[in-house]
Structure 1
Amino acid sequence: MEKLILILLSLFLSGQVFAQASASATVTSRATVIDPIKIDKTVDLDFGNVISAYTPGSVILSPDGSRVAQGVQISTSFPGTVNPAEAIVTHGNNNYSITLPESFTLYNLENPDQKLVINRFTVQPETGVVTDVIKIGATLNLDANQLSGFYTNSTGFNVTVTYN
Structure 2
Amino acid sequence: MNRIVFILFLLLLSSQAFSQASASAKVTSRATVIDPIQIDKTVDLDFGNVVSAYTPGSVVLSPDGSRTAQGVQISSNFPGTVNPAEAVVTHGNNNYAITLPESFILYNSQNPDQQLSISNFVVLPDEGTISDVIKIGATLHLEANQASGFYTNSSGFNVTVSYN
TM-score, structure 1 as length reference: 0.92
Q: Aligned residue for 1:123?
A: 123
Identity over aligned pairs, percent = 76
Give the Cα–Cα distance (whole angstroms) in 2 for the partners of residues 141 and 57 of structure 1: 6
Amino acid at match of 2:127: T
Q: Aligned residue for 2:22?
A: 22
Q: Aligned residue for 1:134?
A: 134
Instruction: Show structure 2 runs of 5+ residues with no match.
Output: none
Shift of 1:34: 0.4
* Superposed counterparts of 1:1-164, under 5 Å: 13=8, 17-18=15-16, 19-164=19-164
Q: Deviations over 1:50-75 (max 9, x none)?
A: 00000000000000000100000001
* Root-mean-square deviation over aligned CA pairs: 1.7
Shift of 1:76: 1.1
Larger radius of gyration: 1
Give the Cα–Cα distance (whole angstroms) in 2 for the partners of residues 101 and 53 of structure 1: 27
Q: Deviations over 1:16-42 (max 9, x none)?
A: 525111100000000000001100000
- Between the two proteins, the alignment pairs up a number of residues equal to 158
Instruction: Show structure 1 runs of 5+ residues with no match.
Output: 1-5
TM-score, structure 2 as length reference: 0.92
Which runs of at least 4 in structure 1 moved beyond 3 Å after TM superposition? none
